[in-house]
Structure 1
Amino acid sequence: MKREIIITSDGSSTIHLPDWDEQYHSKHGAIQEAKHVFIKNGLSLFSKQHISILEIGFGTGLNSFITFLEAPKTGLVIDYVGIEAYPVALDEIEKLNYVSQLNAITFNSIFKQIHQQKWEEKHRISKSFSLIKRKQLFNEINDKNIFNLIYFDAFGARVQPELWTEEIFKKMYNALKPNGVLVTYSAKGSVRRALQTVGFLVEKLPGPPGKREMLRAIKK
């Protein structure tokens, strides 16, 4: 499948898949979307504690890198697990401009380390951030009561509807601790209903630039 590096509306890059007309991040702003959906409406709910985060769709590593940058500001110690069935090639990663766009040049080596580290192994990136990357299909996830927060960042339901089903969201529900939170950029009615069916309390929130709404779900 053809893949292209494109620049989104906020100046940050992403990977575009022309055959699907789909991007790894919003064309309206990759960094803006990540900060709004996953940091403002997810990570910011926690402070001064030790938490575990599961990312569904590790992809370019943008969400994990921003979370690494945010951890010291919040007093959090974060154990981060990123799930990705089809890892992005390192030559594509080198073309992404997240380090410069985030004014994080001093952490350029960390961004590289995130992508170069071995899969299936836990790595201590800093005092406040550890990372495990798991090469795994989403329907193979069987974690139980481990995570405080899930970043659900799979490709959209338009192109991969099988990733947005009750079966998958039941796995997410099981993976969360009580009162755990799932956040996603999607606001589709079918997604909201699937989350509710498996037991989540779901709320609509204002979406990132270019998108009217997003969803946040809580395991009650």
Structure 2
Amino acid sequence: MKREVVITADGSSTIHLPDWNEQYHSKHGAIQEAYHVFIKHGLHHFCNPELLHGAESKYVSGSHKTIAVLEIGFGTGLNAFITLLEAEKLNIAIDYFGVEGYPVLMDEINQLNYPAELQAREKEVYFKQLHEVSWNEKYAIAKNFSLEKQNRFFSEIKETDMYHIVYFDAFGARVQPELWTESIFLKMYKALKIGGLLVTYSAKGSVRRAMESVGFKVERLPGPPGKREMLRAVKKV
């Protein structure tokens, strides 16, 4: 399938798939979407002590925090890179797990402008390492950020009670409806710890209903530029 690197509305790049008329990130702004959906309404929400309660606070160990994040669709590594940057700012440790069935090629990665657009050129070595490390092995990328890239399909996920946050960033239901079904969200529900969050850019009614049917409590939130709404789901007791 043909793939081409393009620039989105906020100046950051993404990969476009002409055959599907689909891209890895929003054409309205790749970085803006990542920050709004996955960082603001995912990582930052979970780390806000005023919002934590009950089992949700179990990730705190003494004065040091370690959060396990599962990304569904590792893709360009943008969400992982921003999470790495935010972990340093928040003084938390992240164990990051990125699942990807079809890894992006290094010549495509080398065309992406994320370190420059994020004003993090001094961290560019980390962005490169996210892609250069081997698959299916755990690596310490930075002192507070470890990564395990998993080259497998989403349907193969069988973990239980392992993750605090799921970044659900699969291609849209228009082109891959099989990734937005009850069976997939049941896997996500089982993989999350009690009090864990799943955030996604999608706000389709069918997606919300699929999440609710497996036990999630789902809320609609304002969406990133170009989208009216997004979804956040919580695994309750």
Shorter-chain TM-score tier: over 0.9
> 1:215 is aligned with what amino acid?
L
Partner of 2:61: none
SS of the equivalent of 2:68 reads strand
How far 1:75 moved relative to its partner?
2.0
> 1:35 is aligned with what amino acid?
Y
Assess if the C-alpha contact under 8 Å between 2:220 and 2:229 holds in 1.
yes
* Runs of 5+ consecutive residues of structure 1 not aligned to the other structure: none
1:172 partnered with 2:188: yes
> 2:138 is aligned with what amino acid?
K
> 1:173 is aligned with what amino acid?
Y
Partner of 2:134: 118
Partner of 1:215: 231
Residues of 1 paired with 2:182 and 2:221: CA distance? 21
Counterparts of residues 55-74 of structure 1 (less than 5 Å): 55-74=71-90
The partner residue of 2:102 within 83, 86, 96 is 86
Given the two structures, how large is their TM-score scaled by the length of structure 1?
Answer: 0.99
SS of the equivalent of 2:226 reads coil
Residues of 2 paired with 1:210 and 1:45: CA distance? 22
Select between 73-82 and 29-38 the one with higher mean Cα deviation: 73-82
Select between 46-55 and 111-120 the one with higher mean Cα deviation: 46-55
Residues of 2 paired with 1:113 and 1:79: CA distance? 15
> 2:228 is aligned with what amino acid?
R
SS of the equivalent of 1:49 reads strand
> 2:171 is aligned with what amino acid?
F
Assess if the C-alpha contact under 8 Å between 1:173 and 1:219 holds in 2.
yes
Q: CA RMSD in A?
A: 0.7
Partner of 2:211: 195
Deviations 1:110-158 (A, max 9, x none): 1111100000110011121000000000000001000000000000000
Given the two structures, how large is their TM-score scaled by the length of structure 2?
Answer: 0.92
Partner of 2:16: 16
* Runs of 5+ consecutive residues of structure 2 not aligned to the other structure: 48-63
1:4 partnered with 2:8: no
Partner of 2:169: 153
How far 1:45 moved relative to its partner?
2.1
Assess if the C-alpha contact under 8 Å between 1:46 and 1:76 holds in 2.
no
Select between 47-56 and 184-193 the one with higher mean Cα deviation: 47-56
Assess if the C-alpha contact under 8 Å between 2:12 and 2:113 holds in 1.
yes
